A and B are shown apart, each in its own frame.
Chain A
Amino acid sequence: MQEAILKVTNLKKYFKTKKGTVHAVDGVSFSIEKGKTLGIVGESGCGKSTTGRAILRLVEPTDGEVIFEGIDVTKADKKQLSALRRDMQIVFQDPFSSVNPRMTVSQLIAEPLVVNKIYKGRGSKQQIEDRVLELMDTVGLARRLYNSYPHELDGGRRQRIGIARALAMNPKFIVCDEPVSALDVSIQAQILNLMKELQNSLQLTYIFITHNLSVVNHFADEIAVMYLGSLVEKAPVKELFDHPMHPYTQALLSAIPVPEITENEEEILIKGEITSPVNLPEECRFYSRCSYACELCKKGRPELQEVRPGHFVACRRIHDVRMEEKRI
């Protein structure tokens, strides 16, 4: 087993609002090995984007540790942080709002190099230009777009700008925050393939945040399912798809459309709505919507437990859930 490049321990992010404290991320722990991809899956508002941002300290975490290559990101000072930002990057969800509309493609891609003063002194202009062109080739942007403005480009090309910006400083780790959910399906595949190729050629480590399980199926090595600020299940991709254990994961998987007429698999419907993350009671987060819920589930939040090798589930009634699985 390789050593983890990133280790997140008990990460928390609370937002104080007038109505109370929003528990956006509430005690998330995981680690990723170098060169692997962790997919974080969950519905809107479950805190998956906030997790990604808290790891990079784009939002200040309330509590917890994020160890990246031995350095605690949450305690890094300004100098360390700017060094870390070269190694840890993010690709944003919406390629329409994540690029400054006033800058050209080349300016956007050159910006990380300029801001971090990667090239200095005479000839730096030429070096930056060379690097920008190299990056444009890497992410598949035609060189003729060098002086274009983002509004002249389609979503896929804009997202390529975003990826080029992230790659500019040769990072080791990238948080991909729903990088394809704003794109057309045909373009989604292109961008996913590009990101996969880049991962192989540049030995990148990804956190891939998405609400689309079928996307992450082809992309991730391991999947963490998130519900209301906590991880409810974590397992290698194949294991998770073959043996989903947590009632929430089961429901999520059953919601993936299956393109077959004969197969008449029953869909598990989740009743009710997602619980408000404001002033949460100390019970299982999924309690109010779970079909297995019982009195036991009201006694505090369940911890992640390893139920099979590499397969972690946070559910008190996991035994009963598995029994039922066997019966079917």
Chain B
Amino acid sequence: MDRVEKSCKNSAGVRQNRALAVWRQFRRNKGAMIGLIITAALILLAVSADFIWDYETDVIGMNIADRMISPGTKYLFGTDNYGRDMLARVGYGARYSLVIGAVSVLFGLFVGVPIGTSAGYLGGRYDTIIMRMIDAFSIVPSILLTILMVTVLGTSLLNLMIALAISTIPIFARITRASVLTVRYNEYIESAKAIGASDFYIITKYIIPNCFSPILVQATLRMGTNIISAAGLSYIGLGVALPTPEWGALLSASKQFIIQAPYLCFFPGLAIMITVMSINLVGDGLRDALDPKLKR
């Protein structure tokens, strides 16, 4: 390698690292950077929640003496009707929302991307059948589909994630298929075939890397949507049940006190909004950074 490295030194073309180039583009986008910082902070919060608050005492432990205290110096976010610190509950809740968002999207990717890739790459009858099935799935609004599935499976955190993941699959299958189709007919795919590359090699080395950006962007944006859906389902009692401090469940429990103690609704709502917004900002920033053509 030595010889090559030396001969490269006076090369005019600077060796470009694509990830680095994307990062540079991303960094220039202020909104995206704010989103990234907030998202990173939320992830940190979710990871370290157990070190900050003790689940049994701070999060679900009741303290009747301190019930319904408005936000102040002692309790920054106030306390609820059982005297629980809302800061602890909302803070701990980050864990649920982020995990639900991430797991449901990862599962959707895990199933949807292979479906979309095979449909786009193989084409023909297989493509038609698979995509019509996906279409049939997508006709039902995804929130209805999720409600249906939670009702069938029963309400629990795991079932909520499964239901959200399943309603996410068609989206990833579609977007993957679409971008596979744009890549598949490039001459360089044919040139890989000509040197004797197998289909598996072509898919993993050529197709997926060249379809990566739209899928990544969609995954990020979808995570925000799934967090909202999860909160919504918990709100109507189909998601995570109380006393688990999931944000939607918190909202649901607080709504009866909305006149006396509006802060009880305010903070979980704000948390949902900030989380989803910052994740969407990251998604938008990624889209711009990955495809500079879209910007103008």
Listed in ascending order, the chain A residues whose CB lies under 8 Å from chain B are 53, 56, 58, 81-82, 85-86, 89-90, 92-94, 97-102, 106, 111-112, 115-116, 129, 133, 143-149, 152, 162, 165-166, 168-169
Contacts and interface: CB of A to CB of B under 8 A. Distances in A.
B18 to A, nearest CB: 7
Contacts of B209: 102
B195 A58 contact: no
B204 interface: no
Given A102-B210, A115-B201, A147 B192 contact: no
Contact of A86 (B13, B191, B196, B210): B196
Contacts, number: 81
Interface of B is mostly: helix
B10 A94 contact: no
A112 B4 contact: no
A148 B206 contact: no
Given A58-B190, A100-B188, A168-B195, 13 more contacts: A90-B194, A92-B191, A98-B188, A100-B192, A112-B196, A143-B7, A144-B7, A144-B11, A147-B4, A147-B15, A148-B11, A148-B13, A149-B13
A70 to B, nearest CB: 20
A86 B196 CA distance: 8
Given A102-B18, A115-B201, A147-B11, A129 B195 contact: no
A103 to B, nearest CB: 9
Contact of A145 (B1, B11, B198): B11
B148 interface: no
Contacts of A98: 187-188, 190-191
B66 to A, nearest CB: 59
Contacts of B28: none
A183 to B, nearest CB: 15
B186 A56 contact: no
B273 interface: no
A116 to B, nearest CB: 5
A18 to B, nearest CB: 14
Contacts of A143: 4, 7
Interface of B: 1, 4, 7-8, 10-11, 13, 15-16, 18, 186-188, 190-198, 201, 206, 209-210
A115 B210 CA distance: 19
A78 B144 CA distance: 47
B18 A97 contact: no
Given A144-B11, A145-B13, A116 B4 contact: no
Contacts of B4: 106, 129, 133, 143, 146-147
A129 B8 CA distance: 14
Contacts of B195: 85, 89, 111-112, 115-116, 165, 168-169
Contacts of B190: 53, 58, 92, 98
A144 B15 contact: no
A137 B201 CA distance: 28
B182 to A, nearest CB: 12
Contacts of A129: 1, 4
Most buried by A among B13, B15, B194: B194
A224 to B, nearest CB: 22
- 4 A-B pairs with least C-beta separation: A85-B196, A112-B195, A152-B13, A98-B187
Contact of A116 (B8, B11, B196): B196
Nearest to B195: A112
Nearest to A144: B11
Contacts of B18: 102
Contact of A82 (B13, B187, B192, B196): B196
Contact of A111 (B7, B10, B15, B192): B192
Contacts of A99: 188, 191
Contacts of A97: 186-188
Contacts of B192: 100, 111, 115
Nearest to B188: A100
Contacts of B210: 100, 102
A145 B188 CA distance: 20
A99 B194 CA distance: 12
A168 B195 CA distance: 9
A85 B194 contact: yes
Contacts of A152: 13
Nearest to B11: A144
A169 B196 CA distance: 11
